[in-house]
Amino acid sequence: MTAAPALSTLHHVTERKLKKLADNRQKFEADKKSILAKVASAPDPRQKVEALIAGFELHGIEPQQPDVSIPNLERFVHQAKHDPSVSTTLLRDWQSKLEHELDIMSAKYQYAALFGHLVIEWIKHPNPAASPSARVSVDTDMSAKMTDSFDPVGRKEMVEQRQEWEGYAFTEKKMDQAKIEAYLYEIFATAYQSKKMKKSPLRKLRDAMENVMDFKSDLQTPKKEDEDEDEDEEPVTIRGEHENRFTVENLKACIRGVIQADLFAGQKREALADLEHQPAVLDELVDVLNMDLESLDTWEWDPSPVPLHMRRQLNGKYRVYMDEETLQAILLHFIGETWAAAMKKAFTTFIHSGAWRQTPHQSMGRTARSRREYFVPDSTKNRTTVRNHRRETYQKDYFMMQLPDKPFKDYHNYAADDVQDKGQDAKTKSQLATKQSMLRLVTTEVLLNTKVYGECVVLQSDFAWHGPSHPHDTIFAVLNFFGVPAKWLRFFKKFLEAPVAFAMDGPDGSTTVRKCGIPMSHVLSDALSEAVLFCLDFAVNKRTQGANIYRFHDDLWFWGQESTCIQAWKVIQEFNGVMGLNLNEEKTGSALVVADKAKSRPLAESLPLGKIKWGFLLLDSEAGKWVIDRSQVDEHIEELRLQLGACRSVMAWVQAWNSYVTRFFSTNFGQPAHCFGRQHNDMIISTFEHIQRSLFADTGTTNVTDHLRRMVSERFTTDDTIPDGFFYFPAELGGLGLRNPLINAFATYNNSVSDSGHPIDWAFGKEEEQYRRLKEAWKTDIVYLKAPHSKRRHKAPDAKANAGNNKDNDDNDTDAELDEPFFGLDEFTRYKEECSAPLHEAYTALLRCPPETLVDSPDQEEQRKALLAEGLADSHYWRWIFTLYAGDLKQRFGGSGLQLGKRDLLPVGLVDVLRSEKVRWQG
């Protein structure tokens, strides 16, 4: 595919806009000079105002201030000519306002021109490793000067990580497939089966795998009436041909999916994005891709070898991406989406089959349930409990979260770090948001367990080099056990065993066939990987009698009481031994948090050593709180300084800042939430202050605003009076779109709970109140039952007896039985996770983020309209920014001060295209 024409067209349009802007600005400044000359020569204040009014009308200048009306001033000046009561002071005030209007127009032209110059600079010097088609010829001497201090070839770390990657990906890892099959059989074939199901959970899982993308079964004939059918099976329907074939709509979805997966960069990415808007080409591609689907048995990687590229991530790790042919990428995405969604559906059916359990640490037995129902009727039917909430959210938000619920629906990629402020992404539950919610879940569970049971153990790990080290033998053993047809096993083998060569080695580089691992940024890779890790999920659930391991792709989290965590850790180690996977020791650890510090004790020796980490957070086991690791932050400050220093344009610098500071740092500090308490806000605020002061300590400035102001002034010979709002306002309104990472911490500060333990303490208090009310009601009920002809109550089951031995006999009830005391508070509150509505309320409250405070502003309606007009989210963030900088900008730009430049002359379309290319970090 050739490069997309969109960028070059926008570049041409931008040049036309900037030429028009320069012409308009030149004409305006000439008109302004002429008007002011006439004002200077006017003999008195009234005639000076008349000269200004005449100039405005002659040159078509419209006032920007809402309190300045040319028709009204004409009337007032006419009055002043004949009415001595119109003072000179008033006339001079009108003159000052009109002259200020001219200054406002000059400022709008000035900053629109400056914005344009910054965009042109961005085109000439885009973000490092950005789209080559975005570049135009630049002055070679300046280009060389700006890159002398940066090594474009790559760092030592890249070379070392490539060698390690090759050691995994190009070395076949033979596995004992019979051992894997025996392990899987022991786990799955003995799974508990619901009495309502005629087929075992494993049989249903295998049936589902057999029919994925089965072209022969696209048109099925309904079963005859005399054929057997399990009552738990779905009715057989005739499926349309389109389900397993390309259409224009699912082709567009595949194109968006490949772009979202960030498989391609630069020119190739632009061409793919442009393709979605070419109907005639899409129709042709549908035919070609459907032919490819029909001949999958003969499919091969073409061209061969597939080029490999290494990209540096913000965490310092390098990932290896395949630069495959575009149509092959679309075809593989289609197959991947179909298989991923089918697997998600099959695994979800399995989790509802009765095989999967979910039990709290203290679970009610039959006798305990009967006693509670006796003393508090219908209380065991309460659905608003921690146990039910935990089970529902696990299944809905965390189980197989890497796979889509339905094929060809837009969903966020695991590595996504570039969220736009257009409104729609904020409403989508992305995997980034799920990662944040998992942190809140871990924290809330620690609080609950330590409060309810006195202690909690947290266990964390992830797989070492999971992508390149995943044995192909293991993948095929699992797929074969699940009943995936042989034709698909052959196709997956070709997909995994790709012939590849590193592009950096040039045309003479060696070609090697992959023998281990899965390709990066492919949905099909996710599906194959998740099929294997699904076995781990179920093994942990089964061996721990109902506890779940929480996974974020290959990141593993488990928590609860120590004995359960020990069992889960044994399962993980056994699974790795059978499947040939290894854990990352640097990210493996455990911690014990106790409520009573006097009862602190060492962790069990069978649990792994190492600290519990999440992003830049470390779990302080003594305090049971997360703290930001300043040593990690300081390392990234140095890295940030290097990456910003490599930016050769102001707007590329801003884009890099936004991605590194506002997204990467903010994400890894954790969003403020009730489970963290207000001290977390304080910690975020102080750390961002430390980042700015450290980053700019050697530049003579102390903050990002002053640093950028100096940078712009030096490059474009402007003065040092650039308003702060110019840097922080969105590009759609003529600003640079610099993000302030502190605002969320400040906006949620007052609404954060002062102590994260208070909600659970409140729940305990509510439980005791509820108990006292029920006990009083029980006494009243006893009096009623002693009355003549009243209905007699059965005797409560013996708390120490087996439930099966309880015998109820109305004829043998005595008055002594009617006087049986209400069960104790300890028994009432023993099964909090299954019974307590107040604890559920506290639990869900702790999981939430505090609402942001909406700052007061007299211009809120204007702000809202301005945001919506530009397609921006009407967010608390923008309201905060507008209100913070409105005063100065109103003086400079008139009106509400929201539109900084001439909107019709701003190259906003080009800025959107440039921003759409993700930041590529220097290696």
Q: Average pLDDT per run of 10 along the chain, which is 923 residues long?
A: 53 78 91 95 94 94 87 93 91 94 90 86 68 34 32 67 95 96 93 76 93 60 39 41 79 93 85 89 94 94 93 85 95 96 95 86 87 85 89 93 86 40 42 90 97 96 93 98 96 97 91 96 96 97 94 93 96 97 95 92 94 96 94 93 90 92 93 96 97 91 92 81 90 89 94 95 96 88 51 61 42 51 91 94 97 82 74 81 85 73 66 65 58
| CA 639 – CA 628 distance, rounded (Å) | 18
| CA 349 – CA 783 distance, rounded (Å) | 51
Residue 678: CA count within 13 A, CB half-sphere: 10
What is the value of pTM for the model shown?
0.85
CA distances from 669 to 436, 674, 741, 875 (A): 10, 15, 11, 21
Percentage of the chain beyond pLDDT 70 is 83
Give the model's pLDDT for residue 921. Answer: 59
User: Which tokens go with 347?
Assistant: 């695994």
Give the model's pLDDT for residue 901. Answer: 66
DSSP calls for 724-770: HHHHHS-GGGTS-----TTHHHHHTTTTS-S-TTHHHHHHHHHHHHH
What is the C-alpha end-to-end distance of the chain, expressed in Å? 27
Q: Specify whether the CB–CB gap between 336 and 521 falls below 8 A.
A: no
Q: For residue 591, what is the DSSP state?
A: E
| CA 694 – CA 629 distance, rounded (Å) | 16
- Residue pLDDT, tens place only, 820-850: 788 999 999 999 999 999 999 999 999 999 9
| CA 914 – CA 43 distance, rounded (Å) | 54
CB atoms inside a 10 Å sphere around CB 393: 15
| CA 99 – CA 250 distance, rounded (Å) | 59
Amino acid, res. 517? G
- Residue pLDDT, tens place only, 83-106: 989 999 999 999 999 999 999 899
Give the model's pLDDT for residue 130. Answer: 41
